[in-house]
Structure 1
Amino acid sequence: MLWHAIAPVRRYTKVSHDVMRHPRLNSDAKVLISYVQGLPEGQVDRALSEHAREVGIKGRRYQAAKEQLVVNGFVHERKAPGARGLWATHQLFSNVPLSDADALAVWREAGVGGGADPSAQVPTVGQPRARRVGHQLPVDEELGENSFRPPTQAADSEAALDELSPEEAQVERVLLSLRECRRDLRLGVAEARSLVALAVEWLRRGVSGAELREVLSSGLPTGRVRSAVGFLRHRLVQKMPEAPAPAPAPEPAPEPASVPDPAPPALSDAPPTPPRVAPLVTCEGPGNEHVFRAYGGATLCPDCQQAAPWARWAERRAADLGVDLAEEAAKAVEAGRDPDGWRSRLAAAAAAGGVPEQ
């Protein structure tokens, strides 16, 4: 970087290096310090925002720069009463940081905040005149401390308004929601609660909250409703549905006749009957002699019943392939297998036909 600087001989402002190199001030804040520091004496009574507007610092940029100047002690603000009882905001600007104590000393030295004596001010309107009315005070009036106490009934009524039953709270919501239909039906909370007693009677006569809202908001006059409370009270009274007929009292049920308790069953001395068990029957199927429990008159055990269909299928399969079952049975005996079993027949048929065993 090349550096070339010519010191001005007139119309210049000396700015401290502490300000120009301040780490917590942005460029806008530094420009404000430099600009306000070089102002002539005739322009120092203007607000800081007006000076910032002249150098193009507006809006959020000015707010951010001013906040940095206030936080770092370059700008101090104070509100003090002025003439005619009006409050004014005074700004203190400094090109060096000032503490609150230093700023307070500057305020006191400048006499900021010291209003004029009220007795020295001219009255706002006219001159004091003689008293026209109220020359004689009431005899019974006590000129002591005001000991007025509000009546207890007001507090009790407010507490009663705050405690609403579920039906009353529902009706109050319906009445307050009428403002959504027409603006001239707007009710205050106190006005709505004055109509709650009438509206709750509608619910007790079988009208739902939606139906009540429909009745109150339909068929409205074309003109403006002058009194929403009076209009709604008139409708609640005139359109009140009839009370439901009382339900007939139920007839008393006849007293049941006394029935003697049943006698307990007599205990028999006979032993309990044992459960029925199917008898053992010799299976009529091939192979070694074996027995099974026959149910429903069966003569074959479950294994033989399943083997018979497979054996018939193996015989048909062997006939189709041209295999001699007797020869295969002999081979089965030599191999130590049962020659009459369906597995032997199926294995023989599968070997002869070249199909894999099942």
Structure 2
Amino acid sequence: MLWHAIAPVRRYTKASHDVVRHPRLCSDAKILLLYVQGLPDEQTHVALSEHGRKLGIKGRAFQRAKEQLVLNGFVHERRVSGERGLWVTHQLFSNVPLSEGDALAVWRDAGVGVRSSAPSARFPAVGQPGGRTAGHQLPVDEELGENASRPPTEPPPETDALVELSSQEREAERVLLSLRHSHRQLHLGVAEARELVGAAAEWLRRGVSAGELRGVLSSGLPSDGVRCAVKFLRHRLVQKMPEDPGERRKAVSAREEAPSVLPAPPPYVAPLVTCQGPGAEHVFRSYDGSTECPQCQQAAAWARWAEWRAAQLGVDLAEDAAAAVEAGRDPDGWRPRLAAAAAAGVAGGDEQ
């Protein structure tokens, strides 16, 4: 890296390396610090926001830069009562970090907050004091000797004392109050923290440690900032509430006690159907909607095959096929005749 610099002879501002290389100040904060440091005396009465507007630092960028300057001791603010009881905000800007005690000493030396003039003298009203004029006519609804004054106003009820907290609730309250050290946007008062103690203690009761609870509440803040810390933390405590281990154990035990295997359904039994085949009347159970029993279907199939085979051999077995079908059970009666006819056909062919 090449470095070339010419020292200015006029219109320059001396800046400390501690400011230029400050690790906790953004570029906008450093520019604003150097800009205000080089202002003439006649422009020091202008508010810091006006100087930021001239530099183009507005909105959220200015708020972020000012917050860093305040946190690191470069900017201090103080509200004092001015003329005619009006409140005025004074800003103290320094090129070195100042503590609250140092800033108070600077304000005291500058006379900030000290009344410059005594109360003005006023002349009394014109005329002489006179005696009190009393009326002679009583009101219509009032009699002599009756005290019709209104009863004294009841004093406002005293606020209830803060209830005693358990050990878990005290730990949850410490976590809520410590969030201000992580982010200033999560600053809570004691009364505000008491509103959220119940939900935060429930997290600890469900096995979440204090460090884990602090991390969940302070991480992943919105980019545009937190407007209301109480509402934001209440929403997170409710929406991200972990599962109750007691409820989970109950659910697991309930599943273990429930029967794991359901009883098998009873087998299907088909209704009895009267067979439409030849032979004596008999019944069977039809599972596929057929009207003939398996034995009759098998006998009919053998008969059809015998007719086809006899047609191939040129043998007339119609009577035997009909007899086999009528028998319905034993097709062996025609098998020997068919085999003999086939053998005779083969032998006749050989003789020719």
The TM-score normalised by the length of structure 2 is 0.41
* TM-score, reference length from structure 1: 0.41
